């Protein structure tokens, strides 16, 4: 199937093509919208498209032709996860409860995208409420958007709540997409769909206007087909802004820790093989490596209280007709058939609603501060002790069938960086069963995001592991 834009074209290439007249933003935008129309019935990656996108693209083309001032992403279409407020489009978090919610302003990061000249193409599907309603619903399912499918094998899970953004990026529905993460929701779906997912350091991207889970961990970041595009988007949405070093060689003396990740009992030969190949490639590039073991912090005890407090604040201020607090939200879900409450439950909502009867706000705050500081100290100790530039780990295991729900053989390494607020990036690294993508993640120093992007770029250019999806209905027998 013809791509909306040539697979090898980066954001820089697209901008250059528009500058030289070989392509217009309107042409690119329309081709992306046509691709969404063709592929979305199978992938369910996009919830809604922006009907004004072609007109906005024409205005960028007019400005470019007249020599007007243009931003760093001028005319580049972008898809945004549907828990991020976008003026003129509903923000649903995948739930029927917010179907009529219309934000009064753009989220901070969307405002930056617009100032950078990006065309907001539409909103992507997600695990409902960014995966904070229940333990039982499949990854990538929402009542509004349906079940997102893995772009490589359609009956496999897309993993993680930013599934729509990752699948849309993999399928070429837009050059760039935006996801959000609390516990791996950028890293996991990006890895499972052979794209690059970048979770910045906490605080580098504004969380204003994002439907919250935990303001102490929530962060938005780019999901793209390559590291250069992730860096281009990050330069626009981040604060402060610095240009990353994107070179094909590591700086002299680069040292990387290698961690096998979090795994339940069992054998993971594909994951082991890909991690060994990635380690060998680091050596070829001149880096030295050392085996490390990361302790895994546990912040689950504070999330119910943080969710209740932050979602009540969001709902009370959001425009349109919808529940105004968590209690009303629970009642809505119990009474709306599309929410499938009797099947999937409301376990996390219910824990959150009762959270302030269990402990005091001060006790939750003290536990949060303790867990965060311990996670930062442990990561920082490893970096200092071994003089590391980054820590590499497997991002995911082979994607399981959607019908398996959560009875899965998990390979997960995103938790330390998520809790500590450190940057984390996943890069395609190989395949299980020749078709199911596997990635490796690099965790970097806190607030040294640009250095991490540069390191990931060097690895990506040396491996070039990504291949385009074939949209197989299932794995060949």
Using only C-alpha atoms, the chain has a radius of gyration, in whole angstroms, of 21
Gap between the Cα atoms of 427 and 168, Å rounded: 16
424-432 and 436-444 as β-strands: parallel, antiparallel, unpaired? antiparallel
Backbone angles phi, psi at 453, to 5 degrees: -60, -40
**CA 389 centroid distance within chain:** 23
**CA 80 centroid distance within chain:** 10
Please name which of 225, 223, 131 lies closest in space to residue 178, comparing C-alpha atoms: 223
User: 264's torsion region: left (phi>0), alpha (psi -120 to 50) or beta?
Assistant: beta
- Catalytically active residues are 81, 161, 185
CA dihedral 132, 96, 33, 164 (to 10 degrees): 20
Angle at the Cα of 193 from the Cα atoms of 183 and 73, rounded to 5 degrees: 85
The answer to whether the CB of 278 falls within 8 A of the CB of 459 is yes
């Amino acid at each position: 199937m013809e791509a909306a834009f040539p697979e090898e074209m980066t954001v820089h290439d697209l901008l250059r093509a528009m500058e030289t007249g070989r392509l217009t933003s309107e042409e690119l935008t329309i081709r992306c919208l046509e691709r969404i129309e063709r592929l979305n019935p199978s992938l369910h990656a996009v919830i809604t498209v922006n009907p004004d996108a072609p007109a906005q693209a024409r205005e960028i083309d007019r400005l470019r032709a007249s020599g007007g001032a243009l931003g760093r992403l001028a005319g580049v279409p972008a898809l945004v996860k549907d828990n991020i407020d976008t003026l003129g489009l509903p923000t649903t978090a995948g739930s029927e409860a917010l179907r009529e919610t219309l934000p009064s302003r753009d989220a901070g990061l969307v405002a930056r995208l617009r100032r950078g000249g990006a065309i907001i193409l539409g909103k992507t599907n997600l695990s409902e409420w960014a995966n904070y309603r229940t333990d039982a619903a499949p990854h990538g399912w929402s009542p509004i958007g349906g079940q997102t499918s893995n772009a490589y094998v359609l009956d496999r899970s897309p993993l993680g709540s930013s599934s729509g953004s990752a699948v849309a990026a993999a399928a070429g529905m837009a050059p760039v997409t935006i996801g959000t993460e609390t516990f791996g929701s950028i890293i996991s779906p990006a890895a499972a769909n052979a794209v690059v997912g970048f979770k910045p350091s906490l605080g580098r991207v504004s969380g204003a206007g994002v439907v919250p889970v935990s303001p102490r961990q929530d962060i938005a970041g780019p999901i793209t087909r390559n590291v250069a595009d992730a860096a281009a988007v990050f330069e626009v949405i981040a604060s402060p802004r610095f240009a990353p070093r994107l070179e094909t060689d590591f700086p002299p003396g680069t040292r990387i820790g290698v961690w096998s990740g979090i795994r339940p009992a069992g054998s993971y030969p594909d994951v082991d093989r890909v991690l060994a190949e990635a380690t060998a490639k680091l050596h070829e590039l001149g880096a030295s490596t050392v085996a490390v073991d990361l302790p895994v912090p546990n912040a689950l005890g504070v999330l119910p209280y943080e969710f209740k407090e932050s979602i009540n604040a969001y709902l009370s201020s959001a425009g349109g007709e919808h529940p105004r607090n968590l209690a009303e939200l629970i009642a809505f879900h119990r009474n709306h058939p599309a929410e499938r409450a009797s099947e999937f439950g409301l376990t996390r909502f219910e824990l959150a609603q009762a959270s302030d009867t269990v402990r005091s706000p001060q006790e939750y705050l003290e536990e949060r501060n303790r867990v965060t500081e311990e996670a930062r100290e442990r990561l920082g100790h490893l970096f200092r002790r071994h003089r590391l530039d980054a820590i590499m780990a497997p991002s995911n295991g082979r994607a399981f069938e959607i019908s398996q729900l959560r009875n899965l053989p998990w390979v997960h390494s995103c938790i330390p960086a998520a809790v500590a607020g450190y940057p984390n990036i996943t890069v395609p690294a190989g395949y299980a069963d020749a078709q199911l993508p596997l990635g490796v993640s690099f965790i970097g120093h806190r607030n040294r995001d640009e250095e991490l992007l540069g390191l990931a770029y060097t690895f990506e250019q040396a491996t070039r592991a990504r291949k385009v999806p074939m949209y197989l209905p299932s794995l060949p027998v």
